[in-house]
Amino acid sequence: MALIPEDRKTEGLMLPMTVRENLSFAALDRLSKAGIIDRAAEQRLIDDMVGLLAIKTAGLDIPVGALSGGNQQKVVIAKWLMRQPRIILLNDPTRGIDVGTKQELYQLMRKLADAGAAILFYSTDYDELIGCCDRVLVLYDGAVKRELVGDAITEHSLIASALNIHDDDTRIGLGGKA
């Protein structure tokens, strides 16, 4: 299970530490033999991840704080993918990153979901939800108010549910499954 937190600068990354160190943190126990880190295995896995996510960095031994916001976010995600998680929790992962990187992240999420991972994606951006999700749960007043599936995920239905407006036109797909 992986958690990509909302604030990458304080919760996701150790900014002064190197890209390499940051990437390894979540998977350290898997990369270690008798408590000592296997540097060759670490390098292989890191190379894979840097390739998979196309992380743009001047090197693995530079501080992760020197990367752009988008690439920092990729490092946070890559860190967890090194564990091959089956459940991925994403808390507003596209905040403060450029459009191109956003697209890459959407595609990555699709790829992971198709490969069988369960992704819980939290977002405040309607377009993102409409474009990415198989199923959307709308919360209102501390409870799930509506579950939208497939074509039922429209801006209209999303906003109506979010504001708790009962509009029968939007009440389609209730109780569906992903």
Amino acid at site 83: R
Indicate the residue among 42 and 153 with the shorter CB distance to another protein: 42
Least distance in angstroms from the C-beta of 112 to another protein: 19
Indicate the residue among 91 and 154 with the shorter CB distance to another protein: 91
Indicate the residue among 63 and 173 with the shorter CB distance to another protein: 63
Least distance in angstroms from the C-beta of 100 to another protein: 21
Indicate the residue among 30 and 110 with the shorter CB distance to another protein: 30
Least distance in angstroms from the C-beta of 30 to another protein: 10
As a whole number of angstroms, the distance between CA 157 and CA 126 comes to 10
Indicate the residue among 39 and 111 with the shorter CB distance to another protein: 39
Least distance in angstroms from the C-beta of 133 to another protein: 24
Strand spans (E) along the chain: 2-4, 32-33, 36-37, 87-91, 118-122, 135-140, 143-149
Residues that bind another protein (CB under 8 A): 3, 5, 10-18, 21, 24-26, 28-29, 31-32, 35-37, 39, 58-63, 65-66, 79
Least distance in angstroms from the C-beta of 142 to another protein: 24
Report the DSSP pairing between strands 32-33 and 36-37: antiparallel
Nearest to 146 by CA among 157, 155, 131: 157
What is the layout of strands, in order, in the sheet containing 87-91? 2-4, 87-91, 118-122
2, 83 Cβ separation under 8 angstroms:
yes
Nearest to 20 by CA among 73, 57, 69, 68: 57
